[in-house]
Amino acid sequence: MPVLLSIAPNPVAGNIRFRLSGAVSDNEQLQVTVTSMQGREVFRTRITSSRTDTRHELQTGSLLKKGIYILQVAGKNYSQTARVVVL
């Protein structure tokens, strides 16, 4: 089963909350980036994956202006993207 990325709620107001499900490895370092629709990286961080705690929250706060962004989560053997609408 592949790794699946879901964002909830979406649209967001404030921090971005997402969930990874499927074949998530334990203690894997994941690269998380948020990119504007113009291709500019606006946020980057690393998180550690866990099979038991699949929910994550990015402390983006007021960094993101209203608009549409692409959230990408990349691990050793996969990369998933999802569209995020910021209100």
Answer whether residue 74 shows pLDDT above 80. yes
Across the chain, mean pLDDT equals 93
Q: Strand pairing partners for 29?
A: 48
Token duo for residue 5:
């990325």
Structurally, how many domains does the chain consist of? 1
Residue ranges making up the domain that contains 40: 4-86
**For residue 38, pLDDT beyond 90:** yes
Confidence at residue 32, expressed as pLDDT on a 0 to 100 scale:
98
Task: Give the model's pLDDT for residue 1.
Answer: 65
Question: Does residue 2 have a cis peptide bond before it, meaning omega lies within 30 degrees of 0?
Answer: no
Taking 80 as the threshold, does the pLDDT of residue 80 lie above it? yes
Q: Which tens digit of pLDDT belongs to each residue from 41-55?
A: 999 999 998 888 889
Q: Domain holding 33: CATH number?
A: 2.60.40.3080
